[in-house]
Chain A
């Protein structure tokens, strides 16, 4: 692997685009927030999941759009890499450990009140698994502990820190669109998020949320779905059938893995179901209000 690394380093050195952007960028929050909340003037760092960076950059944009509109400045760091969840979840401590250390070091260096992520899995990893992995090393453990207090998922941030008021992002045409929500396992089981996304969807945005019939994993499970496609497919089919049964044209979630899995499954099975990140729905409403205001 050393050879690959050296070769890659040799190539990347010749690619100027890969050398740029070592310093974090700050996207300032609106001086006149769209909605008045306690969060105006706050600065947070965005921690986009790997999948956001690779496949769904618009979801990072959506988070920034919403936060900026609330008067929250957002710091983004160019060099963020995987938090270590991917190797950790494969039992590969050797590769997870340097990623964990690197993530802690990078996030410590960012002067932000909170580190916000749109990925429930990354948040669970950083807020919970880090503490376990580093349990026998007091100094690292203390650093992980400090990080665990700063890291927060996007929906909790909006509900519990920003305290986004009910009714503040309802559709301007007064409609009550129908949707369903998939609780990601890490969101629901690890972080205990149940009320938060529903408050945002129903109370803040005025959706009619039709609940899925059963609590069940979508079958993604990281490398699980690559290793065991037949099992993953069956669980996914069940989830999509449950979504069909609600009659909702739209399904939202808070985790990129589930989103990728369900969106891909809906597409491959010819369903018209839209699968979106909750941040995208919020950002659409923010943009609607912004364009009305100007």
Chain B
């Protein structure tokens, strides 16, 4: 895909890992999470961030349009939506089918009702096998359950092998994007962290040098790890097969080299048939990185000889989401992150602000179910209701409407901000509004000088709104035509 000159090595096409399940639990090793307001203030003052993301979004849009020319997007997404609707509506049936097939292939299946259970299952396997080092390819579910943090507590070292994911892991951050975890960074920032971590000078400008340096470190990890953890892009029920798409090949190494392979997946990743998985392949890379297909598409059906394979199927709020009609369709998500790639506020503040662990529009919808209402209360307020996300979603999730339903939940549980509550209350009374408008018509005169605009660049407080945008004056009461 076309990427901006400022991009970092993790953005170059061959190094994107689409695989939606990302991993590096990033940054939260015991450090308290900064508040939404703090994160917002930092992001807004970071002009480089907005430039990086603007270049990225602009390039992505153009490339996506080209990539979509070859397929009938609307037909294809209706087909994908139908498959996911079937899968989610009949989730217990397809889950049973998938598990039976997987077990027949020799995989040990674990069911995790919540994040703690999922972490505990993997920690136990690591303990039983005496694992000290884990190689991990992208898994958003591992971020969701904060697996790295948990394994770290047990003295197990986890190394992210997706380049972007590794970069954010080194920086002690979380991914800011579900597909391109380090999209918020410029190559200079990558050079800085590589130099610091590797203890030798790594170029701030030469992306090739950065990639080589990373490869040298990561190669050893694949061979020395006692466990490889991957995510899943689709769980094919009829076959008991896991589909995983990546661009770097790290997913293949992670799943095949270490003696123990653990697959971590949300139960909503089910699709009924191979054919449905093929539809997903056609839509996923085009929607995610504007590629026709990712470099590697892997189908995993049981462990390779002499190896051990586990799959941990995670609920963690998904069945609760399924039981809410207005949110059920969010479970159709194939984690392409197209919704973030067209989101105007995302472009200005990035995924560390626009979302919680899952970022972008879909992040705002799933976060209350996975991480609680507090985690989404701030981020959801950044949605402009522009509907751009719904237009590009490859499974037609009504994201803008669902975000408003999340907003409603936030207001029900936490109330409106005080000024807003007063404004809404006043606004709901037409007679009060009429009176206020009448007063306003007189009161505004010193500001409008009889004109149609309120110009208040130099008036304290008011100029927060009027420094950059003159406001309309209240018009005279309308005299309708005779």
Q: Which A residues are closer than 8 A to B by beta carbons? A: 1, 4-5, 8-9, 11-12, 15, 17-18, 25, 27, 51, 53-58, 60-61, 64-65, 68, 76, 79, 81-82, 86-93, 95, 98-99, 129, 132, 185-186, 189-190, 214-217, 219-236, 238, 260-261, 263-265, 267-269
Contact = CB atoms under 8 A, between A and B. Distances in A.
A132 B420 CA distance: 23
For this complex, into which size category does the number of interface residues on chain B fall?
A: 35 or more
B465 A229 contact: yes
Given A91-B407, A261-B469, A268-B455, A56 B475 contact: yes
A186 B387 contact: yes
B404 A91 contact: yes
Given A11-B435, A234-B348, A132 B384 contact: no
Contacts of B426: 1, 4
B480 A92 contact: no
Contacts of A235: 344, 348
A79 B438 CA distance: 16
B207 to A, nearest CB: 26
Interface stretch (B1-9, B98-106, B312-320, B408-416): B408-416
B377 to A, nearest CB: 10
A90 B428 contact: no
Contacts of B211: none
A222 B455 CA distance: 20
A61 B475 CA distance: 13
A267 B387 contact: no
Contacts of B155: none
Given A185-B385, A267-B453, A231 B349 contact: yes
Given A27-B481, A190-B387, A89 B427 contact: no
B153 to A, nearest CB: 37
B213 interface: no
Given A91-B416, A99-B428, A217 B388 contact: yes
Interface in B307-342: 326
Nearest to B422: A1
25 contacts: A4-B425, A4-B426, A4-B429, A9-B431, A12-B435, A17-B477, A27-B480, A51-B472, A57-B476, A64-B480, A76-B480, A87-B424, A90-B416, A90-B420, A91-B416, A95-B428, A221-B384, A221-B385, A224-B384, A224-B385, A231-B348, A236-B468, A264-B470, A267-B455, A268-B469
A15 B438 CA distance: 11
Contacts of B14: none
A5 B428 CA distance: 10
Given A11-B435, A54-B437, A60-B478, A185 B386 contact: yes
Nearest to A79: B430
Contacts of B404: 88-89, 91, 129
A151 B417 CA distance: 33
B384 A82 contact: no
Nearest to B468: A233
A225 B420 CA distance: 13
B254 to A, nearest CB: 38
B386 A221 contact: yes
B44 A90 contact: no
A183 to B, nearest CB: 11
B166 to A, nearest CB: 30
Nearest to A214: B58
Nearest to A189: B387
Contacts of B431: 5, 8-9, 12, 18
A55 B409 CA distance: 32
Given A57-B478, A264-B472, 12 more contacts: A12-B431, A12-B434, A15-B435, A18-B435, A27-B480, A53-B478, A61-B480, A87-B428, A93-B411, A190-B387, A225-B469, A264-B471
A190 B404 CA distance: 14
A195 to B, nearest CB: 16
Contacts of A234: 50, 348
Contacts of B433: 81
Contacts of A88: 404
B467 interface: yes
A264 B469 contact: yes
B430 A57 contact: no
A54 B475 contact: yes
B391 interface: yes
